Amino acid sequence: MTSNSDISAAVGRLYDTYPFPPEPLLDEPPPGYNWRWNWLAAYSFCTGCKPERQDVRILDAGCGTGVGTEYLVHLNPHARVTGIDLSEGALAVARERCQKSGAERVEFHHLSLYDVHQLEGTFDLINCVGVLHHLSDPMAGIRALASKLAPGGLMHVFVYSELGRREILLMQQALGLLLGDRRNDFKEGVRLGRKLFDTLPEDNRIVKEDKRRWSLENHRDANFADMYLHPQEIDYNIDTLFELIEASDLTFLGFSNPAYWQIDRLLGGDPELLDLAQQLSVRERYRAIELLDPELTHYEFFLGRPPILKWDWRDDDELRGATPELNPCIQGWPSQAFFDLNYQIVKLSPLEFEFLQACEGGCRTLDDILNDIEIDLDTVRSLQQRQLLLLTPKTP
């Protein structure tokens, strides 16, 4: 049986050979945003309200070359960020990346997830993207991370889905057979893998899926190696995913792509089927969705450590007493048409646009704004549910 240390060493060799992600280094902050890495936007998504503090501690667990770490620093100007990774080669790139772009509030440690207890203190936000599924013992990994999450803190997790990666798994196994005892010679693996893709018939299922979904990113050797030559990978389905979540002893706060998990988008055209699906448990319904729409390549979700208070804003008085402000992760504002958190175009009515303008700065309560703008509370709720607004509850 291969030990955890042997697997960690093999993974480290892969990323020393091909530091990942292989994104270019810039002399300025990275473009755009990922709202899941913005403390204000992520906290509001999970709880319905703006967090009380912005001077938080953030851990990027398995930071690689620092692409996510760099965003975490620039998107959270009051936070202190720590990045850990088991590849010295990747960490060297991460340090250079952050230095070049002016991401100064960050420190890096050469550390495995299993050894995260060596870091001092706890963290308010833990970002763990594309890492747990590469551990030989993901449950031990998520438990180790959970032990470093502060009360009221959030953990953002990304792991692979088995259904949307079927062809990747087949190619991984075929390449492993062909490489034999050369499996840890990753440069040879890339050479042989590319030759294999060039040789297979054009109508081959694996070739067609690679061209449809992956070829644009896989023209870079680092991406190709990470996808097809990784020495350790565990893919999940809903059942095994929630076994992993339950091992963390944290609270599941929701998937970051909630629209995918709505059963009515698949069965809404037939009342009988929709009614049968609605009688399923939440987890069974999730399973039915991924079986009926097996394109999902990964699960991305948030966990939290209680106490975490959620706000639904159904109470009119609570809503009127709240202070609204614009979500920081929108692009193209001010305009009646702009991009929301997921880079989807939002088109506002004139009244909605006027209202959001009045929310800029976050210094007026909703009750005060309503004295000047006649907008109904349900429209305000809709703007908040679409993640265009952050709401700060009235102080007791």
Low-confidence residues of the chain: pLDDT under 70: 1-2
Cβ-Cβ contacts under 8 Å for 310 (sequence gap 6 or more)? 46, 47, 48
Helix (H, G, I), strand (E, B) or coil at 338: strand
What is residue 216's predicted lDDT score, i.e. its pLDDT? 92
Please state, in angstroms and rounded to a whole number, the distance separating the CA atoms of residues 99 and 104.
7
Distances (CA, A) of 95 to 14, 70, 198: 19, 10, 37
Beta-strand relationship, 251-255 and 298-304: antiparallel
Count of CA atoms in the C-beta half-sphere (13 A) of 294: 10
Q: Residues 37-86: pLDDT tens digits?
A: 999 999 999 999 999 999 999 999 999 999 999 999 999 999 999 999 99
Nearest Cα residue to 370 out of 313, 324, 320, 316: 320
What is residue 396's predicted lDDT score, i.e. its pLDDT? 80
What is residue 3's predicted lDDT score, i.e. its pLDDT? 73
Beta-strand relationship, 80-85 and 106-110: parallel
Buried b (16+ CB within 10 A) or exposed e, 352-379: bbbbbebbeeeebebeebbeeeebeeee
What is residue 261's predicted lDDT score, i.e. its pLDDT? 98
Query: How many Å is the Cα radius of gyration of the chain?
Result: 23
What is residue 2's predicted lDDT score, i.e. its pLDDT? 65
Please state, in angstroms and rounded to a whole number, the distance separating the CA atoms of residues 72 and 69.
5
Sequence length of the chain is 396
What single letter denotes the amino acid at residue 294?
P
Cβ-Cβ contacts under 8 Å for 212 (sequence gap 6 or more)? none
